[in-house]
Amino acid sequence: MDHARAHNRQKRGAGVETISLNEAVMIGQQTAAEIVALDEALRRLAAHDPSKSNIIELLSFGGLTYEEAAAALKISPATVHRELRMAKAWLHRELTQGSPSA
């Protein structure tokens, strides 16, 4: 996250650090800005609805299945699915409402 923020702030060619081709492919300037925007949206989601944020973290970053996330949160897999759909819709709105193409 810190790398994405720092990379996003840099001017073209000014103070750019040398990175491997693999890293460059993974995190380009546009991607870095998107990662920062997603991180900020996830933080807003956590403040707005911690349970939805937990579900996103467990499934997307923790690699858990719906069943494993449901067991960890002591809710049903159907609730995980429903909450995930609502969280994705919330994040989509957050990420697109301020974009120039929206």
Q: What is the pLDDT of residues 51-83, one digit of tens each?
A: 999 999 999 889 999 999 999 999 999 999 999
Is residue 102 in some structural domain?
Answer: no
Is residue 45 in some structural domain?
Answer: yes
Q: Could you tell me how far CA 2 lies from the centroid of its own chain?
A: 14
Is residue 48 in some structural domain?
Answer: yes
Contact 65, 80 (CB under 8 A): no
Structural domain span for residue 47 = 2-97
Residue 99 class from Cβ within 10 Å (0-12 exposed, 13-18 middle, 19+ buried)?
A: exposed
Is residue 74 in some structural domain?
Answer: yes
CATH number at residue 65: 1.10.10.10
The answer on pLDDT for 11 being more than 50 is no
Lowest pLDDT segment from 6-20, 41-55, 57-71: 6-20
Which pTM was predicted? Answer: 0.64
Is residue 55 in some structural domain?
Answer: yes
Q: How many folded domains does the chain comprise?
A: 1
